């Protein structure tokens, strides 16, 4: 049955008319508002380009229409689809790589590895999600599903050429929401995988080639009411005719359908089949079984899925099923009826919920789910329980794994779940209901029926439910006509519980369709029949007006029944139902079971007489008792021949009579109960005897047939074994073919990789290569070859002798032909006119079988090689000259031990032949060492063994020193060998050196070292004595000097004013000289102390040392107003006392030589790689560069004492302190003003 169609969400409606068939597309678009009205989603894959070009080339779209093309694109290649389609359409083409709003008259194309989603008129882009397992992403399904949700009935889906099944789910969603689905026919599709998958869904509106789709699309979007020129008389007679024709296609009666639904569906099929008149379309229906099937499918809309409306199923799972299981008595069967089940997903969903809860409760309660529908094909699919892979999107993984088994073509329902369901054909509007149901589901079916039929079906469903049973309707359906009998359980999802008994519907409304047979009409037409289908509609093509006929029957015809030759009631005429029984439960159409008891004997007797050859039987004055008193009727039974029923039909009429007939009438006999009873008994006896005989014959035939079946069974077993063997062989062959295919694929991949390798090699190589065929024509060349032969891409195919060469080569073409004809390869060294040297190699192009089919010219540039040779020769010459200047004897050995290079000293020694071990160039040093007698040169074996070890990379160098006394004098020699490093074979440089003089020098040096050690000991003793002496002198000199200064100052104070001026000046000289002497002694002591005292190294903060120095210079700093600034001084490893003395001396000098201005002193620090560079810069008088080298010497003064006091030891102390710390101090002479002393303090060793 049809399913509910939700209204579109965004797309606005528009109007259009069917265009004229004159232009190239077959129709002309009609102007309308610029509002977006329709979106066409097109899915295409392999082979889709040609189909898309053909589609757009034949399409002039109306305003308001947009297109979205979704393809399977490779991420490794750039798509050129937008450029290709632009050549075949006037519309704008856009590649969607970011979110954008859909606009009319535009074609939107997807990009690689990205999904398109339509949301409120906006195309949204998202990357492909990571899918688990072997699931394949389906971009076409993804977009079409979003298009269906957004556009509803305004959505149009097109599936074009492609492999796989992408688009199958999408077209179902489009159809589910009332949209239109077109599919390319398999004949025109390059690859028919996607079209076939879409066709298998059964929801396709039309199948055609791409060039015919534009007209079908424009026809499908045209309004329901046709243009004034089209005579579209959609009256009731036309509907009746169409109903009769469709009744031959499948057992479906469309008369109860809503007329708006019928009109809309019929009109859309008319547009898709390119007809404008209803009579023309009826003609198509009469001649085309395929079109009848398409219209039936369009009306049925078999679109469903597992757990559709998941929230509704959760209500069913939580509130309904537990209640059913709680109240069901033990051992009683749970009976459920799923009407309009389509392909079975809803029935299986309910079965899964029941099975889960039964297992949770460990209950063994039997379950029978009756799933019915009018569509035989949908029921066949449901009964098979086979579903495509796409159901994984609707089912949770645990349910999919529990209730399904994966097969090659999809998923198969497990056997235990399948056994819970009985699938059967059933028409709600025509047939009796099932009974005693716990739950009846009738979702999204009633909305397509006329109101009076809805009420009838609701009564039928209510009658089928047992007390407290549940009725489940679709979300847009209402139970208002029966609301008094039901209590809502969940209003949103239309779930109700039966609380009062529902009156049964009238028998005539559902047992037998009150519809005339063709035999009652004066004329009939042939209508194609479907074998095996029941007759449920009049088999006429041009009936009388139904209303006139109906009134005629009601007015003039007596009550009657029309019965088939087998005794089944087909139609009830007038008040014929009054003579039928209304039993409870399942209603039967067997005449003798439903006829009232008082008429069983006369009717059965009359039927028996008809079977014996009578054409009509009549019984008069049959008495029928009743509540209103008895009545008398005349019974007439006659056979009617009908083309649609090979056995004919039987018409039974009931005519009331007021007077009991006394005697037999002309047209019948008086009903005699006893006589007819006897006759009825005799008939039964005869039938029993005939049945016995027939049964005995049947038994014998069955026995014979059984033997034949046994023999046939044995044959079938043998055939089955043969088929099994053949299947095994086919399976083996299939595996072999698969293996061969895999090998071919692997080879293809290898060839592609090899092709790419060769292509990249030819592009990247610096070797010029030209390929020639047998006629010396250019086949291929590399770019490097153009340096030697001026080739262009268009020169491919030209003969070689037509091209100019950049080099002069005699017999060049003859050499090529020589090689091509079997000669040896040719190699020549040539030079171009521009001076480039190269090697020309002419090689044959040889196939695997050895045949020569061309030649290969290689041009190898030798310019760099020649330059390298010259450089190598110059290097060798330089090396030889360098070795010749060395006084030692030097030789170079190659990897074999041969002497390849010697210097002049080696050659001189070899020429004198006074000392062994010196051999000429070209000789093998190792072999000669082996041949020398140990008496002549005992060290020869050791030297040869060491060289062999180096050539084997076992050692890098060695040296041996030995004595040789061959000439009578004692002489010493040293042999040194070192392996030369490099990428080539190993080589060794060997040095022979006369060390006799060095030996003697070492002996003398050892003697001098001994003497020096003794002197150092004596010097250390003297140094200790000097330190003690210095200390004594310091004390002995300072004390008398202090006394001289003190007493002189006392004397000066005591005699102040009494001495003459000359005497007072002399006394001042005495005091000044003594003070200077005292300062000199102190400085000398400091100088000696710095050089002799042990340093106390520790991490010292220079900031603290500077502060201590400033404290010592506090009075001078205050008097001069000096300003001392620093840039942040570091911590260093050193003696803090010495460093304080260092800064004190340098800052004191800066204050002293300030040139009577305010001293400004900068203390600098700069981090270097191995330590700190520190400095003291002032703004004083500066230093003359001439004196820069002597200012650090002791007692060196640049100014007299009258200018600046001092004794010239301050900077000497500074240098000693810095050097004891491992650094150096100097004066920077590049400053413009003042002095800048810099010194270094290295980092401590790790």
- Tell me how far apart the alpha carbons of residues 1016 and 766 are, in angstroms, rounded to a whole number: 72
Query: What element of type H or E holds 1066?
Result: helix 1061-1092
Q: Taking Cα atoms as reference points, which of 1198, 1179, 1178 lies closest to residue 1188?
A: 1198
Structure tokens given for 765: 């190589």
Cβ contacts of 726 within 8 Å, gap of 6 or more: none
Burial (CB < 10 A; 0-12, 13-18, 19+), residue 839, is middle
- Tell me how far apart the alpha carbons of residues 662 and 669 are, in angstroms, rounded to a whole number: 10
Torsion on CA atoms 140, 143, 147, 149, rounded to nearest 10: 110
Query: What element of type H or E holds 195?
Result: helix 193-200
Do residues 93 and 86 touch, judged by C-beta distance below 8 A? yes
Structure tokens given for 620: 């008069």
Helix axes 236-249, 546-556, angle to 10 degrees: 90
Q: Which residues pair with 442 in a beta bridge?
A: 473
Do residues 985 and 895 touch, judged by C-beta distance below 8 A? yes
Describe the chain by its helix, strand, coil percentages, rounded to 5: 45, 20, 35
Q: Taking Cα atoms as reference points, which of 489, 467, 487 lies closest to residue 315?
A: 489
Phi, psi of 1134 (to 5 degrees): 180, -175
- Tell me how far apart the alpha carbons of residues 1008 and 691 are, in angstroms, rounded to a whole number: 151
Strand segments (E) across 862-1012: 889-893, 899-902, 957-964, 971-980, 987-994
- Tell me how far apart the alpha carbons of residues 647 and 758 are, in angstroms, rounded to a whole number: 81
| Catalytic position from the list 38, 58, 72, 1221 | 72
Q: Taking Cα atoms as reference points, which of 325, 346, 376 lies closest to residue 474?
A: 346
- Tell me how far apart the alpha carbons of residues 1226 and 1215 are, in angstroms, rounded to a whole number: 9
663: three-class secondary structure by DSSP: coil
811 is catalytic: no
72 is catalytic: yes
- Tell me how far apart the alpha carbons of residues 1142 and 1132 are, in angstroms, rounded to a whole number: 14
- Tell me how far apart the alpha carbons of residues 1155 and 1234 are, in angstroms, rounded to a whole number: 10
Do residues 638 and 616 touch, judged by C-beta distance below 8 A? yes
Structure tokens given for 170: 């999408």
- Tell me how far apart the alpha carbons of residues 1052 and 1038 are, in angstroms, rounded to a whole number: 21
- Neighbour-count burial for 1141-1161, b at 16+ CB within 10 Å, e otherwise: bbbbbbbbbbbbbbeeeebbb
| Catalytic position from the list 38, 142, 146, 166 | 166
Structure tokens given for 65: 């229409």
Do residues 411 and 391 touch, judged by C-beta distance below 8 A? yes
Q: Which residues pair with 93 in a beta bridge?
A: 107
- Tell me how far apart the alpha carbons of residues 638 and 650 are, in angstroms, rounded to a whole number: 6
1000 is catalytic: no
| Catalytic position from the list 4, 38, 45, 349 | 45
CA atoms within 13 A on the CB side of 531: 0
How distant is the alpha carbon of residue 1193 from its chain centre? 82
39: three-class secondary structure by DSSP: strand
* Measured CA distances, 415 to 386, 424, 439, 830 (Å): 12, 18, 23, 85
- Tell me how far apart the alpha carbons of residues 877 and 882 are, in angstroms, rounded to a whole number: 9
Helix axes 259-272, 236-249, angle to 10 degrees: 70
CA atoms within 13 A on the CB side of 893: 27
- Tell me how far apart the alpha carbons of residues 660 and 671 are, in angstroms, rounded to a whole number: 10
Active site residues: 45, 72, 166
């Amino acid at each position: 049955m049809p399913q509910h169609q939700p209204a579109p969400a965004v797309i606005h409606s528009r109007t259009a008319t069917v265009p004229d068939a004159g232009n190239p597309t077959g129709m002309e678009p009609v102007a309308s508002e610029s509002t977006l009205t329709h979106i066409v989603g097109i899915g295409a894959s392999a082979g889709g380009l040609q189909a898309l070009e053909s589609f757009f080339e034949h399409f002039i779209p109306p305003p308001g229409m947009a297109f979205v093309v979704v393809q399977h694109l490779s991420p490794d290649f750039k798509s050129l689809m937008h450029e290709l389609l632009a050549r075949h359409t006037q519309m704008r083409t856009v590649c969607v790589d970011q979110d954008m709003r859909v606009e009319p008259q535009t074609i939107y194309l997807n990009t690689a590895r990205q999904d398109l989603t339509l949301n409120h008129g906006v195309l949204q882009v998202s990357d492909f999600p990571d899918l688990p397992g072997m699931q394949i992403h389906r971009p076409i399904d993804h977009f079409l599903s979003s298009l269906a949700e957004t556009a509803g009935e305004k959505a149009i889906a097109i599936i074009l050429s492609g492999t796989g099944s992408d688009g199958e789910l999408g077209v179902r969603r489009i159809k589910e929401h009332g949209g239109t689905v077109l599919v390319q026919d398999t004949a025109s599709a390059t690859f028919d995988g996607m079209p076939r998958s879409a066709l298998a869904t059964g929801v396709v509106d039309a199948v055609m080639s791409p060039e015919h789709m534009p007209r079908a699309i424009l026809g499908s979007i045209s309004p329901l009411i046709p243009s004034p020129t089209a005579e579209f008389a959609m009256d009731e007679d036309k509907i009746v005719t169409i109903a009769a024709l469709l009744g031959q296609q499948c057992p479906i009666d469309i008369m109860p359908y809503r007329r708006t639904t019928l009109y809309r569906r019929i009109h859309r099929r008319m547009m898709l089949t390119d007809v404008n008149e209803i009579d023309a379309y009826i003609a198509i229906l009469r001649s085309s079984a395929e079109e009848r099937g398409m219209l039936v499918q369009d009306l049925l809309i078999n679109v469903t899925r597992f757990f559709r409306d998941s929230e509704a199923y959760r209500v069913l799972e939580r509130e309904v099923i537990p209640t059913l299981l709680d109240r069901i008595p033990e051992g009683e069967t749970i009976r459920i009826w799923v009407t309009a089940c389509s392909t079975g997903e809803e029935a299986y969903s309910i079965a899964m919920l029941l099975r889960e809860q039964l297992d949770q409760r460990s209950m063994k309660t039997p379950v029978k789910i009756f799933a019915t529908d009018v569509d035989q094909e949908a029921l066949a699919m449901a009964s098979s329980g086979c579903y495509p892979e796409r159901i994984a999107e609707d089912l949770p993984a645990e349910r999919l794994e529990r209730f399904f088994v994966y097969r090659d073509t999809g998923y198969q329902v497990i056997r235990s779940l399948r056994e819970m369901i009985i699938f059967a054909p059933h028409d709600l509007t025509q047939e009796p209901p099932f009974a005693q149901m716990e739950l009846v589901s009738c979702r999204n079916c009633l909305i397509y029926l006329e109101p009076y039929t809805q009420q009838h079906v609701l009564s039928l469903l209510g009658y089928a439910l047992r007390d407290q049973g549940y009725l489940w309707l679709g979300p847009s359906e209402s139970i208002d006509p029966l609301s008094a009998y039901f209590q809502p359980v969940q209003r949103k999802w239309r779930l109700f519980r039966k609380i009062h008994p529902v009156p049964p519907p009238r028998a005539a409304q559902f047992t037998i369709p009150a519809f005339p047979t063709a035999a009652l009409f004066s004329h009939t037409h042939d209508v194609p029949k479907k074998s095996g289908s029941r007759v449920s509609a009049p088999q006429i093509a041009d009936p009388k007006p139904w209303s006139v006929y109906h009134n005629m029957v009601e007015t003039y015809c007596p009550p009657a029944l029309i019965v088939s030759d087998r005794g089944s009631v087909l139609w009830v005429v007038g008040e014929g139902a009054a003579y039928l029984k209304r039993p409870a439960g399942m209603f039967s159409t067997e005449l003798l079971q439903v006829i009232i008891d008082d008429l069983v004997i006369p009717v059965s007797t009359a039927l028996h007489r008809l079977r014996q050859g009578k054409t009509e039987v009549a019984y008069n004055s049959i008495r029928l008792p009743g509540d209103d008193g008895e009545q008398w009727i005349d019974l007439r039974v006659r056979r009617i021949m009908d083309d649609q029923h090979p056995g004919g039909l039987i018409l039974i009429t009931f005519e009331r009579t007021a007077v009991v007939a006394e005697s037999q009438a002309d047209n019948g006999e008086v009903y005699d109960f006893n006589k007819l009873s006897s006759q009825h008994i005799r008939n039964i006896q005869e039938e029993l005897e005939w049945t016995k005989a027939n049964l005995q014959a049947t038994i014998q035939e069955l026995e014979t047939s059984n033997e034949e079946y046994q023999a046939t069974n044995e044959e079938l077993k043998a055939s089955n074994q043969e088929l099994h063997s053949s299947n095994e062989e086919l399976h083996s062959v299939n595996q072999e073919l698969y293996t061969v295919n895999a090998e071919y694929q692997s080879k293809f991949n290898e060839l592609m990789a090899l092709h790419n390798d060769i292509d990249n090699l030819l592009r990247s190589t610096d070797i010029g290569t030209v390929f020639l065929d047998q006629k010396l024509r250019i086949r291929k060349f590399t770019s490097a070859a153009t340096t030697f032969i001026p080739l262009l891409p268009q020169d491919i195919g030209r003969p070689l002798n037509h091209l100019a060469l950049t080099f002069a080569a005699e017999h060049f073409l003859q050499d090529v032909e020589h090689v091509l004809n079997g000669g040896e390869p040719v190699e020549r060294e040539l030079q171009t006119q521009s001076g480039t040297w190269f090697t020309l190699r002419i090689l044959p192009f040889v196939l695997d079988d050895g045949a020569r089919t061309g030649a290969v010219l290689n041009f190898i540039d030798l310019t760099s090689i020649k330059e390298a040779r010259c450089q190598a020769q110059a290097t060798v010459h330089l090396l030889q000259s360098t070795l010749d200047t060395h006084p030692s004897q030097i030789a170079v050995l190659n990897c074999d031990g041969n002497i390849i290079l010697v210097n002049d000293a080696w050659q001189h020694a070899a020429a004198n032949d006074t000392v062994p071990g010196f051999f000429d160039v070209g000789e093998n040093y190792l072999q000669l060492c082996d041949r020398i007698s140990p008496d002549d040169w005992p060290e020869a074996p050791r030297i040869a063994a060491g060289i062999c070890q180096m050539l084997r990379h076992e050692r890098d160098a060695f040296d041996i020193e030995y004595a040789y006394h061959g000439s009578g004098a004692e002489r010493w020699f040293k042999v040194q060998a070192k392996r030369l490093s490099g990428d080539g074979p190993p080589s060794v440089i060997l040095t022979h050196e006369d060390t006799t003089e060095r030996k003697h020098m070492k002996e003398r040096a050892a003697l001098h070292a001994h003497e020096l050690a003794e002197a150092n000991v004596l010097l250390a003793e003297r140094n200790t004595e000097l330190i003690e002496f210095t200390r004594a002198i310091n004390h002995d000199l300072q004390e008398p000097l202090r006394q001289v200064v003190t007493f002189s100052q006392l004397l000066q104070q005591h005699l102040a004013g009494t001495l003459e001026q000359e005497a007072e000046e002399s006394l001042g000289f005495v005091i000044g000289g003594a003070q200077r002497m005292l300062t000199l002694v102190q400085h000398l002591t400091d100088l000696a102390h710095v050089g002799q005292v042990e340093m106390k190294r520790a991490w010292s903060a220079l900031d603290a040392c500077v502060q201590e120095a400033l404290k010592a210079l506090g009075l001078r700093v205050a008097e001069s107003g000096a300003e001392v600034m620093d840039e942040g001084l570091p911590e260093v490893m050193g003696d803090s006392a010495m460093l304080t003395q260092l800064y004190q001396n340098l800052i004191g000098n800066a204050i002293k030589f300030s040139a009577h201005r305010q001293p400004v002193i900068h203390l600098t620090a700069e981090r270097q790689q191995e330590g700190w560079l520190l400095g003291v810069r002032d703004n004083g008088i500066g230093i003359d560069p001439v004196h820069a080298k002597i200012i650090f010497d002791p007692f060196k003064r640049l100014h007299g004492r009258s200018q600046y006091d001092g004794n010239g030891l301050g900077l000497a102390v500074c240098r000693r302190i810095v050097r004891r710390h491992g650094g150096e101090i100097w004066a920077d002479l590049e400053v413009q003003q003042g002095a800048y002393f810099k010194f270094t303090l290295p980092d401590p060793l790790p």
